[in-house]
Structure 1
């Protein structure tokens, strides 16, 4: 378990986090969105008033560009993997955070947050250009029942010194009494926020965290709601004031598009923080935002496990819901087991998730690290008249595609962009790449020349003081 503050230090040491002092009056979500658009690093906002903020910590660069760092590289570090861990390793680790075979005895530790904050407004949480109130994003809600503590993501706004308007999954609000208590944890370990998203998208909020894999590594502390990670930067303890307040907002975190949610009015009872708290936030509704990446990875991890368990073997190499498509397309790399397998796989994916209306199937040897190459397989391998298959226009409306958000029915599409397994190898075009197009001697010579020129340029920059 890696505390959020330690996680930020790890990102900084890897060159993936840049501190900034203020933003010259520009709203933090504007700066955060621009940093993501420009494939920049994560940002830490150092502020004299209010808590420090961090953005982009769970997100990453656009996969359409060739970069060593990938969108999941930062979160990989947060869940205990190397930043260069494979995409599948990240999916399997996230899956392991969810419901497990039995209950674990929770480990308790000293609470990192011990300083009392007078008012929720004193936190100076970020407010977007189109927002009326400051926003609470990337929060983990904790509710206690006789079964244990239950976690789910929570998103909302600060409407007064002691009142929040939030949305949280129906499954969590149903566990609350009319005057129940709920705690909001901000700045939790990355494994904890990933678990909250995973429980929401899998419909397992009713499973207590004591029965989840995250309980094996995360020490807890009790709150007036349920257990939260002991290393949490900021805890807001609340009671339920109203179950269905008049709370309308066009901005929704990504999980809210795939999970039914309930609005709540919460009365703040106590706020405790670390001495120098830093909490993450997401520029909700902006491209490549942190909540998109978390929801995409949690959904991909769930689908990866479900489809591979379906046949008793594991034909699927990976499943990807790229934030670049706002989770509206599902890519899957698989071995084609038999004639008609692609159709069956696509229908399984549509059954297990309502986010997307398009499934693209590619060969099992295609890498998820280069989205441009994955997209290229659509026009290289899939003929529009044969391999693009539309359903009847009566499918339920998908939740994430921007081009159809009126709730009406439409068609689903799956694209078979894999080579026909019945073809002989001689009929299959070789993949064009540096490694496959040139002999080893030529590749080695090119790399030596490139490295020599890179070292020379780097030396010139050092002498110039850059």
Structure 2
């Protein structure tokens, strides 16, 4: 388990997190949005007063259509402890394992890292979006304790006075408690806790206590008035639920709110706990490549990847990606074509398990998830619009996320951008690259010169 501030320290040491003094103007959301637009590092805003420190871009923030050393899954993979340069599939498999059921509870209780504070929630200094009045709480989790165990869910809240939070949460969690009961908000939690919470939410699996999930044995916890929360949480708020009403939609929503129905709660905070120099993640809502979008995309991709490779008795899919640049409206799958018609069956399988996208693109198994440009190139080179772009009937249910259609129905599309496995290899065009454009003897001579100059690494990786 990697504590949130340990995660940040590793990003700082690898020059993937920069620190700035938190200004009064412009809003932290403006700074975070500009950093995301420029595909920059995570940005930590350090407060000189009693307000909490803020950080954005910890779970994503890189543009996959530009050449980068980091990818949308890199920072989350580091936080999950996968590797300092994690492979995409390893991140998917780690996320999927967090949501697995376990036979026996193996919960580790330790001391609370945060200490009691006399500050109100408003005095903690959560960021206020430009043009708005109330500070927002994002990228945290709500804990609900019951006799069966504890349930975790993502939370998006606004601080409407000094100790009142109006929060939106998934409908499923509100069935676990009634008005007047105590719940707990935890902010600055380990990546395992936040990723697992988003995974269970976007896949509608919040009905099992967190102690019965694998994440319950990987994240040390502490008991609170509202159930257990990660012990290393930067800020912990214990509150009573004062009111419950249907979700009040707003233009700015956390991305998981687009995928599942929600409820609005009014929470009265009784106790606030914070670590020394507490640092809390936040996301500028509605901004391309923001953390909440990346989290939703990675967790949903992890679930679909796990399901599709458990269906046929073999694992034909190399990877599955919901690109943040497409706002999760497109699903890209690198797969082996097992038999004639497999691509049609695989596409319909994916459509049946998620309604957020209306387009599936199938590419060959040798395509890398790091190279989204090649995916777009394969659509152009391999998929003939008259033969390989296949639309459903126009009465299909409309997808949730694409912004170009607001009708009740719409067509679904899958694009087969793979080479036909029935073709003779002699008829399949060779892959052209800067290294393969030269004879093998010349490439070997350059490789030898490269080594003599004392450069490390493979020349192919550099080119």
Same fold per TM (> 0.5)?
yes
Distance 1:277 1:317, change over 3 A: same
Q: 2:400 corresponds to which residue? A: 399
The correspondence of residues 340-379 of structure 1 with structure 2, limited to 5 A, is: 340-379=341-380
Could you tell me the TM-score, scaled by structure 2's length?
Answer: 0.94
Distance 1:274 1:440, change over 3 A: farther
Q: 1:298 corresponds to which residue? A: 299
Alpha-carbon separation, structure 2, partners of 1:435 and 1:247: 56
SS in 2 for 1:298: helix
Distance 1:440 1:112, change over 3 A: farther
Is the 8 Å Cα contact of residues 60 and 69 (structure 1) preserved in structure 2? no
SS in 2 for 1:360: strand
Q: 1:110 corresponds to which residue? A: 111
Alpha-carbon separation, structure 2, partners of 1:411 and 1:130: 38
Alpha-carbon separation, structure 2, partners of 1:219 and 1:10: 20
Q: 1:148 corresponds to which residue? A: 149
Q: 1:460 corresponds to which residue? A: none
The correspondence of residues 71-82 of structure 1 with structure 2, limited to 5 A, is: 71-82=72-83
Note the C-alpha offset of 1:454.
9.8
1:21 equivalenced with 2:16 (yes/no): no
Note the C-alpha offset of 1:329.
0.5
Q: 2:419 corresponds to which residue? A: 419
The correspondence of residues 66-465 of structure 1 with structure 2, limited to 5 A, is: 66-244=67-245, 247-404=248-405, 406=406, 408-440=408-440, 442-443=442-443
Is the 8 Å Cα contact of residues 80 and 192 (structure 2) preserved in structure 1? yes
Alpha-carbon separation, structure 2, partners of 1:353 and 1:230: 34
Note the C-alpha offset of 1:203.
1.3
Q: 2:43 corresponds to which residue? A: 43
Alpha-carbon separation, structure 2, partners of 1:452 and 1:182: 62
Distance 1:24 1:220, change over 3 A: closer
Which deviations, in whole Å up to 9, do the C-alpha atoms of 1:339-377 show, x marking residues without a partner? 111111111111111111111011111100011111111
Alpha-carbon separation, structure 2, partners of 1:374 and 1:103: 43
Distance 1:443 1:128, change over 3 A: farther
Instruction: Mark the runs of 5 or more structure 1 residues left unpaired by the alignment.
Output: 456-466
Could you tell me the TM-score, scaled by structure 1's length?
Answer: 0.94
SS in 2 for 1:309: coil
SS in 1 for 2:150: strand
Note the C-alpha offset of 1:246.
7.9
SS in 1 for 2:92: helix
Alpha-carbon separation, structure 2, partners of 1:265 and 1:24: 28
Residue-pair matches, total:
454
Alpha-carbon separation, structure 1, partners of 2:425 and 2:168: 53
Is the 8 Å Cα contact of residues 247 and 262 (structure 2) preserved in structure 1? no
SS in 2 for 1:434: coil
Note the C-alpha offset of 1:178.
2.4
Is the 8 Å Cα contact of residues 165 and 247 (structure 1) preserved in structure 2? no
Q: 1:459 corresponds to which residue? A: none
Is the 8 Å Cα contact of residues 201 and 298 (structure 1) preserved in structure 2? yes
Is the 8 Å Cα contact of residues 155 and 253 (structure 1) preserved in structure 2? yes
Note the C-alpha offset of 1:436.
3.1
Alpha-carbon separation, structure 1, partners of 2:265 and 2:394: 36
Distance 1:33 1:450, change over 3 A: farther
Which deviations, in whole Å up to 9, do the C-alpha atoms of 1:388-430 show, x marking residues without a partner? 11111111121111212x3521111111111111111111111
Instruction: Mark the runs of 5 or more structure 2 residues left unpaired by the alignment.
Output: 457-463
Note the C-alpha offset of 1:51.
0.2
Alpha-carbon separation, structure 1, partners of 2:446 and 2:182: 64
Note the C-alpha offset of 1:233.
0.3
Note the C-alpha offset of 1:239.
1.3
Is the 8 Å Cα contact of residues 188 and 233 (structure 2) preserved in structure 1? yes
Note the C-alpha offset of 1:206.
1.2
What root-mean-square deviation, in Å, do the aligned CA atoms of Structure 1 and Structure 2 show? 1.9
SS in 1 for 2:396: coil
Note the C-alpha offset of 1:136.
0.7
Is the 8 Å Cα contact of residues 2 and 191 (structure 2) preserved in structure 1? yes
Which deviations, in whole Å up to 9, do the C-alpha atoms of 1:65-92 show, x marking residues without a partner? 1222111111111011113221000000
Note the C-alpha offset of 1:446.
5.4
